[in-house]
Amino acid sequence: MMSIIKMVNNQINSTSISIEIEVPPKEIWNAVSDVTSVSEWSPECIQVIWKKPPSDNLIGAKFIGSNKKGWVRWKGYCEVTSALPEKNFSYNVRPLGWWMRPQTRWTWEIRAESHFQSVVTLRCEVQYVTPLGRLIFGTLEQRLSEISDGIQVTLSRLKTSLENNNIA
């Protein structure tokens, strides 16, 4: 199941896509909460490193994502805001450093359909766009469309990776 939902709610622009994956929620949770693996699926993210490694509780853990789109490269300064095993994983992204307010929030939601089937939704909420971001990526609508395309690729690659690793 692939569905693209774009909405505007209280000046928060977001896009989300859901997909069914033939693995239990625990496997999806283990994959998406290990942020160093995101570059294996994402068309923009090329590397993730923990800045403040997670402890028993992932909330508050910090990491830096290195991204690339065409000739443009940038870093996102990220902090985990929600981590409920087998249910959800969220983090805020600051565009230029820890001192900035969060620009986007990425949320993975996982729902069990059966013991061996799950639905995972990846959502990106954009709080604001910097002038530099508008110059590089265009309007908010254009960037949300690109993000939607990237989410679709990310989820398809995640599905393939997890289902292929699940073959006995």
pLDDT in tens, 143-163: 999 999 999 999 999 999 999
What is d(CA 136, CA 113) in angstroms, rounded to the nearest whole number? 40
What is d(CA 61, CA 13) in angstroms, rounded to the nearest whole number? 25
Phi/psi region, residue 145 (left: phi>0; alpha: psi -120 to 50; beta: rest), is alpha
Would the pLDDT of 106 be above 80? yes
Count of CB atoms within 10 A of residue 143's CB?
A: 20
Task: Tell me the average pLDDT across 25-40.
Answer: 96
Taking CA atoms, 156 is separated from 1, 11, 92, 122, in Å, by 11, 29, 23, 11
Q: Which of 2-11, 75-84, 131-140 has the lowest mean pLDDT?
A: 2-11
Taking CA atoms, 62 is separated from 39, 77, 135, in Å, by 16, 8, 28
pLDDT, mean over the chain: 90
Delimit the domains of the chain by residue range: 3-165
Assign 132 a pLDDT band (cuts: 50, 70, 90).
confident
Q: Which of 168, 153, 165 is nearest to 19 (CA)?
A: 153
pTM for this predicted structure: 0.89
In this structure, CATH architecture of domain 3-165: 2-Layer Sandwich (3.30)
Return the ∠ at Cα 26 (arms to 67 and 156), rounded to 5°.
45
Of residues 102 and 8, the one with the higher pLDDT is: 102
Would the pLDDT of 168 be above 90? no
